[in-house]
Chains A and B, each alone.
Chain A
Amino acid sequence: DAKTTQPNSMESNEEEPVHLPCNHSTISGTDYIHWYRQLPSQGPEYVIHGLTSNVNNRMASLAIAEDRKSSTLILHRATLRDAAVYYCILRGAYNNNDMRFGAGTRLTVKP
């Protein structure tokens, strides 16, 4: 499976945008880029996913580099509730549905 690299931690101020980077230089043409997050003492939850084009949903935006070797999860206005560990995961279109979590980025949101 292609690997992802994320910063261990990031900090943000409340109500400011947050850009969480992810490098995936060995991504294959059929790998989708998924983001999940894990709030304290909870199970992971799906945030967003994309293949080539940028994606928006009610939670976040996903910006994918043209060469697909990196992507950025964008939280437009961070709230205290967004403090969590964010995981960037590659999922092959033909894999067997398993997800390989890395260490993720721990986001701290300061009031």
Chain B
Amino acid sequence: DTAVSQTPKYLVTQMGNDKSIKCEQNLGHDTMYWYKQDSKKFLKIMFSYNNKELIINETVPNRFSPKSPDKAHLNLHINSLELGDSAVYFCASSQGSTGRGTDTQYFGPGTRLTVL
């Protein structure tokens, strides 16, 4: 079983559309994250949720809205997609409750979003 899974793997859409990316973890972790990796390959954290509560919200346009229906899921909804949103989006999870300096994150396979 895949520990952290994301769907879809690829997403091609037109500018202005609204789309969602789903993430599920079966590790029993308390904390989930969304990262964005742009064309220059820099990985940046976008959001972090702990037990369904938003912990980190980096400087991300409010067109991006994470939704956590339960501890095992953290979905990313994007409104009014723009060309600059094209990137690979990674979901991750971690136990979160251990000593934070030792907390290990487990990443999903990524969703490649292409906005035309």
Give the B-binding residues of A (Cβ under 8 A).
30-32, 36, 38, 41-46, 49, 51, 85, 87, 91-101, 103
Contacts and interface: CB of A to CB of B under 8 A. Distances in A.
B69 interface: no
Contact of A85 (B31, B41, B55, B100): B41
Contacts of B92: 43-44
Contacts of A85: 41
A108 B72 CA distance: 36
A98 B41 contact: no
A11 B91 CA distance: 30
A111 B42 CA distance: 28
Interface of B: 4, 31, 33, 41-45, 48, 50, 55-56, 90, 92, 94, 96, 99-110
Q: Considering residues B44, B106, B107, B109, which has the most beta carbons from chain A within 10 angstroms of its beta carbon?
A: B107
Given A44-B90, A46-B106, A49-B104, A93 B99 contact: yes
A46 B95 CA distance: 14
Contacts of B109: 42-43
Given A43-B90, A97-B94, A92 B101 contact: yes
A41 B90 CA distance: 11
Given A32-B101, A95-B100, A45 B31 contact: no
Contacts of B104: 46, 49
Contact of B44 (A31, A42, A101): A101
A108 B107 CA distance: 22
A98 B55 CA distance: 9
